[in-house]
């Protein structure tokens, strides 16, 4: 796990097994994400996919540009994708059904392109199809393909190289990563966290940020986790006394807002199974939290459970990647 950025101003984390690499959320500009990957020694061209937890700006800011640049698929739940498309194309007259049709057509074109790459070019039957000739001509000149992609994105800012849907609660795979999305209580269309299991290495990592409280389904999802990125958003006193308008304070504190240091400590003291080698505290508010407070609060909770002293607690950062956590 490499946390490239974590906090209310942008979130993005690389999860990798021996064979598969995915990026969870793309909440900084494409340029900044590529810079962070370079700082963390992560090769962007090695990424297989981008997964999105929910459509809030701090999770999707650089998504479309990055996905188009890397030409990799983006995995969403359907309601999250739908909400994101609406955000990206506020003035569109395209219905969602039309949009899906458009996505399907793009998918077929890509499948044709993939088939072309693995097919003998002298296979006359395949090359005789007018559609494939067009694709072959476009892919022969990389620049023209790039221009075409950029032109398409100007017409449709929500265009992505490929879109795949998952359903929270239903397991799916990318390469040798087995992924289980779980629903989180948060004020977005269909927010979720993820559990990743490397099938070949039997290592489990999880991301659980942007949740108002820890409901039973999250508690049970976060069992037997080796590396856990867990939200510790705000200090209750700092939030109450801080500069946020009343309505925003209410939103953060609500059951669909963010986990306080106190709520995180309560989870660690009471409901956490103690299995993680590393717990990474993330999504800290820069206005309503202090890293020392979050760390102290979580460490106290673990200390009360003497046998868990082997758990190491780290802090994710907003402004820079933290060192990759390797098991």
Q: Which residues bind Zn ion (CB under 5 A)?
A: 56, 58, 210
Query: Are the beta carbons of 231 and 262 closer than 8 angstroms?
Result: no
Cα(164)–Cα(12) distance, integer angstroms: 19
Residues 6+ positions from 204 with CB-CB distance below 8 Å: 195, 196, 197, 198, 224, 225, 226, 227
Cα–chain center distance at 119: 34
Nearer Cβ to Zn ion (116/256) = 256
Q: How far is the CB of 210 from Zn ion (least distance, A)?
A: 4
Instruction: Specify the residue, 57 or 104, whose C-beta has the smaller distance to Zn ion.
Output: 57
Three-class DSSP category at 94: coil
Cβ 258 to Zn ion shortest distance, Å = 8
Put residue 93 in one of left, alpha, beta given phi > 0 → left and psi -120 to 50 → alpha.
Answer: alpha
Strand locations in 112-237 (E) = 163-166, 172-174, 177-183, 192-198, 203-208, 227-231
Q: Report how far residue 284's alpha carbon sits from residue 45's, in angstroms, rounded to the nearest whole number.
A: 29
Q: What are phi and psi of 247, to 5 degrees?
A: -65, -40
* Min dist. Cβ of residue 142 to Zn ion (A): 36
Beta-bridge partner residues of 13? 3, 24
User: How near is the Cβ of 222 to Zn ion at its closest, in Å?
Assistant: 18
Instruction: Please state the closest distance from residue 208 (CB atom) to Zn ion, in A.
Output: 12
Maximum separation of any 2 CA atoms in the chain, in Å: 73
Nearer to Zn ion, 36 or 56 (CB): 56
Closest residue by Cα to residue 280 from 15, 100, 9: 15
Nearer to Zn ion (CB atom), residue 42 or residue 58: 58
- Which residue is nearest to Zn ion, using beta carbons? 56
Q: Which is nearer to Zn ion, 42 or 210 (CB)?
A: 210
Q: Which residues have a Cβ under 8 Å from the Cβ of 37 and sit 6 or more positions away?
A: 4, 14, 43, 44
Q: Which is nearer to Zn ion, 56 or 204 (CB)?
A: 56
Tokens of 144: 């023209």
For residue 7, the minimal CB distance to Zn ion (Å) is 8
CB of 98 to Zn ion, least distance (A): 28
Residue number, 228 or 308, with CB nearest to Zn ion: 228
């Amino acid at each position: 796990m490499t946390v490239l950025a974590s906090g209310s101003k942008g979130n993005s984390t690389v999860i990798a097994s021996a064979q598969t690499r995915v990026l969870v959320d793309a909440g900084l500009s494409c340029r900044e994400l590529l810079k962070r990957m370079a700082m963390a020694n992560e090769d962007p061209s090695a990424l297989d996919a981008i997964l999105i937890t929910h459509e809030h700006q701090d999770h999707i800011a650089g998504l479309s540009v990055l996905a188009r640049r890397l030409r990799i698929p983006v995995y969403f739940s359907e309601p999250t994708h739908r909400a994101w498309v609406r955000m990206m194309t506020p003035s569109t007259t395209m219905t969602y059904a039309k949009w899906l049709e458009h996505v399907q057509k793009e998918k077929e074109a890509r499948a044709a392109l993939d088939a072309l790459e693995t097919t003998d070019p002298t296979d006359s039957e395949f090359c005789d199809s007018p559609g494939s000739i067009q694709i072959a001509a476009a892919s022969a000149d990389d620049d023209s393909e790039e221009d075409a992609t950029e032109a398409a994105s100007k017409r449709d800012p929500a265009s992505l190289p490929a879109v795949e849907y998952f359903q929270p609660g239903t397991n799916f795979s990318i390469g040798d990563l087995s992924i289980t999305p779980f629903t989180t209580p948060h004020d977005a269309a269909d927010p979720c966290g993820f559990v990743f299991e490397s099938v070949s290495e039997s290592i489990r990592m999880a991301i659980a940020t942007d949740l108002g409280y820890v409901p039973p389904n999250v508690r049970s999802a976060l069992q037997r986790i080796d590396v856990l990125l867990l939200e510790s958003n705000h200090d209750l006193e700092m939030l109450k006394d801080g500069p946020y308008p009343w309505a925003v304070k209410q939103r953060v504190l609500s059951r669909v807002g963010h986990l306080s240091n106190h709520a995180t400590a309560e989870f660690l003291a009471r409901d956490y199974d103690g299995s993680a080698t590393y717990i990474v505290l993330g999504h800290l508010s820069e206005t309503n939290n202090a890293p020392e407070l979050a760390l102290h609060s979580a460490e106290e909770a673990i200390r009360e459970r003497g046998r868990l002293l082997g758990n190491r607690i780290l802090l994710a950062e907003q402004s820079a990647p933290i060192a990759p956590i390797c098991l």
